[in-house]
Chains A and B, each alone.
Chain A
Amino acid sequence: GQNIDQPTEMTATEGAIVQINCTYQTSGFNGLFWYQQHAGEAPTFLSYNVLDGLEEKGRFSSFLSRSKGYSYLLLKELQMKDSASYLCALYNFNKFYFGSGTKLNVKP
């Protein structure tokens, strides 16, 4: 595998900002992806980084640092519907490798 690590669970308050980290131990991968998965549903694509830096898509942003071996997903203005698992994935050697996911609980 690619040794992708994510925190298992996080809790944040509605309206706040939360950062979900993803660290990995590999090099030369093609891209890093973030997916959202609500309980009982399929993952949905959120964001994709190829180069280092920040990619912004509305309330969601994703950052990649290849030299430091980490990425993060930033969620702003949290809403209750953001309660879900967030999966980090690498595409390398013609395969997708997924982290175990971070379960985010948004409380009022």
Chain B
Amino acid sequence: KAGVTQTPRYLIKTRGQQVTLSCSPISGHRSVSWYQQTPGQGLQFLFEYFSETQRNKGNFPGRFSGRQFSNSRSEMNVSTLELGDSALYLCASSPALGDEQYFGPGTRLTVT
């Protein structure tokens, strides 16, 4: 089976812009979670989707949003980018809620 894929792998944006990141889960996996990883804060949970529904959301401002499509692919959007949004954004898929997660390679976002 192919692993979790994320696009793009690298992205450079300026403050105030918005960005959309994409994630394709492992075939058959219905749960997709998103994380932000920074050296200082470690892995921080953004949100989890299951069957096109957001099941839970982390402590991030409303500028961070996401969605899941019927084929389980997911996107996350960050609007009005700030310098502090520079991070590695990881997507993980799992067969069901609470199962072990399989991570994609991540999207490295740099905001200048």
Q: For chain A, what secondary structure do more than half of its interface residues adopt (helix, strand, loop), or is it mixed?
A: strand
Contact A45 B102 (CB under 8 A): yes
Which residues does chain A contribute within 8 Å of B56, judged by CB atoms? 93-95
Which residues does chain A contribute within 8 Å of B106, judged by CB atoms? 42
- CB of B96 to closest CB in A, whole Å: 11
| A1-54 residues at the B interface, CB under 8 angstroms | 30-31, 33, 41-45, 48
Q: Which residue of B lies closest to A30 (CB)?
A: B98
Q: Which residue of B lies closest to A99 (CB)?
A: B42
Q: Cα distance A38–B74 when bound, in Å?
A: 25
Q: Cα distance A98–B90 when bound, in Å?
A: 13
Further 9 A-B residue pairs, CB within 8 A, beyond A94-B48, A94-B55, A95-B56: A30-B98, A41-B105, A42-B104, A43-B43, A44-B103, A95-B45, A96-B48, A99-B42, A101-B43
A-B contact pairs, 17 of them (CB 8 A): A31-B98, A42-B103, A42-B104, A42-B105, A43-B43, A43-B90, A44-B103, A45-B100, A48-B100, A89-B43, A94-B97, A95-B45, A95-B48, A96-B48, A98-B43, A98-B45, A101-B43
